[in-house]
Amino acid sequence: SSKELTTLAVFKDSPFGLSQPGVSGVKNGYGYVAWADYSSQYPDNLNFSTISIRSIPYNAQLSEDYHVDMYVHDPVINDRAIAWSDGDEGRGSSLYLSLDRQMPKRMSENVSYYGLGKDFLAWCEDGAVFAYFYDTDKKLRLSRPSELAMLTEVADNGVLWFDITDERRLRDILKFSILHEGDD
């Protein structure tokens, strides 16, 4: 309400300082910000992380620390889901999804970018864009099989990516898909 800036976390010589925070949209008057940090139980072990989740405006009852038995990078959040990778972008990084703060599910590997929509998780894996509707357990490929894609943004019902198939293209090719649960 005071419009002042607030420091949420301070990192010093920490790999978590390279991890982007995730921000959700507003629902019932609250938005959320999530970031990766050391585990308070195992502060010297990167195989255990905490995803710190704080409501905006701050409400202690709506804020929490979600403990994960792995390294966490670039967590994203919405009102039901948290997603993150277990390494830096690209080869060897696996993507995880937790619904309603339950046990996470490994969704994919070799993931370069990802984001949460209203009721789905979208990601780029080995140059292909996918979406997973978590309420129906349905996975879709959004980019064409012959297309090399680079995911750029995920929000509400939209997914945007660049078609980077032709290395000698004269213009950028930006594609999008509007998703609704039940789409094929």
pLDDT digits (tens, 9 = 90+) for 53-108: 999 888 999 999 999 999 999 999 998 999 999 987 767 889 999 999 999 999 99
Q: In the prediction, which pLDDT does 1 show?
A: 59
Long-range Cβ pairs for the range 99-106 (8 Å, 24+): 99/134, 101/64, 101/66, 104/68
Q: How far is CA 141 from CA 99, 120, 164, in A?
A: 21, 13, 16
pLDDT mean over 116-134: 96
- Please report where in the chains the tokens 């994203």 appear, as a residue: 76
Q: What distance in Å separates the CA atoms of residue 176 and residue 151, rounded to the nearest whole number?
A: 10
What backbone phi and psi angles, to 5 degrees, belong to 126? Answer: 50, 40
**72 Cβ contact list (under 8 Å, min separation 6):** 16, 19, 36, 49, 50, 51, 84, 85, 86
Q: In the prediction, which pLDDT does 43 show?
A: 83
pLDDT band at 173 (very low <50, low <70, confident <90, very high): very high
pLDDT band at 122 (very low <50, low <70, confident <90, very high): very high
pLDDT in tens, 24-40: 877 788 999 999 998 88
pLDDT band at 145 (very low <50, low <70, confident <90, very high): very high
Task: Write out the two tokens for 162.
Answer: 């660049």
